[in-house]
Amino acid sequence: MSKRLTALRDARAAIDHAKDKHAAARAWLRFQHAADDLLRALPETLSNARCIDSNRADGVSDRCPGVAVFREARRLGADFGYCESDAAYAPGDIGWEKYLELWPAGPDADDAWWYVHVAPPCCDECGPETDADARALYGDFLARFPKSRHRDEALRALRSLK
């Protein structure tokens, strides 16, 4: 776990010392990947009864396994949460958001757009409310990124809405 926290700290330092917008965008992407890697190392089998504490700002009880690492990652800027529907720690998308903000046409913009707008980090926040909203979302994605690696998935989703 300490290697993963070190990677997150190093990525945070790269953000703080970035010389330009593109370097900052790449650093945020590195931060996102480090945060996702750290999250995968946290306990997967959790219990809402043990982990939810609505009196805490982060909503997570001190009794929840892995909470110390969860909180350290949040202190460094990871926007982890707790997903009640999955009874699990939930990834954030701050790195993807910042990447898009800093480099909207960058080489990883399609991934960033996909993870920010299409693939919700927790099913408590699942996707578009209506089929029309979903069609607009996937259509917008395909218009922006016609050669994306997510293209086939977006097309399948659109076909399923017909």
**pLDDT at res. 122:** 72
Identify the band that residue 69 occupies on the pLDDT scale cut at 50, 70 and 90: very high
Domain membership flag for residue 51: yes
Class of residue 98 by CB neighbours under 10 A (exposed 0-12, middle 13-18, buried 19+): buried
Query: How many domains, in total, are found in the chain?
Result: 1
pLDDT tens digits along 74-115: 999 999 999 998 899 999 999 999 999 999 999 999 999 999
Provide the residue range defining the domain that includes 19. 2-92
Domain membership flag for residue 75: yes
- Asked if 157 contacts 138 with a C-beta cutoff of 8 angstroms, the reply is yes
Percent helix, percent strand, percent coil in the chain, to nearest 5: 60, 5, 35
